[in-house]
Amino acid sequence: MSDTTMANSSVRYLVPVSTEIEGAGQSDPLELGAMAGKPVLLIVHVDEVLEQESLHVSIWGSADGTNWGTQALFWFPQKFYIGATPAALDLGQRPDIKYLQARWETNRWGRGVPRPHFKFAVEIQESAA
């Protein structure tokens, strides 16, 4: 993470740093608080990955933290390598959303370890835009 990100006190995590996964899953709901109705910056950080596998992360929104609807707000591009992928999401377009949740799918092909393995995080912070 950059020094700017580390210094930003409004940085929170949908998926905590160094979360290890071997399959599909979802984060706990994150109450947006002061970020509700504002533009936010979401960043997927992949810190560890095996070859021949993919991670596909989506972001879901809810007004009450229990009903997530049938469609994600945003899908990140599939990730195959370590690195950070930022995306802007304007929650001003959806003022009803008070909670966010990250969901992910994994895939593995080829030989070797039969299950995917990733270490990753999903960061959220208020956008300057």
Q: What is the mean pLDDT of the chain?
A: 91
Q: How many structural domains does the chain have?
A: 1
User: Which range is least confidently modeled, 3-7, 57-61, 105-109?
Assistant: 3-7
pLDDT per position as a tens digit, 28-53 = 999 999 999 999 999 999 999 988 99
pLDDT at 18: 96
Which CA distances in Å does 84 have to 26, 31, 95, 98, 111?
A: 19, 23, 27, 25, 27
Q: pTM for this structure?
A: 0.89
H or E segment and range at residue 123: strand 118-126
Which structural domain range is residue 62 located in? 3-126
CA nearest to 105, candidates 23, 49, 13, 5: 23
For residues 55 and 104, the answer to whether their CB atoms sit within 8 Å is yes
CATH code (residue 43): 2.60.120
C-alpha distances out from residue 82 to 53, 61, 111, 118, 119, Å: 12, 26, 20, 9, 9
Confidence of residue 111 (pLDDT cuts 50, 70, 90): confident
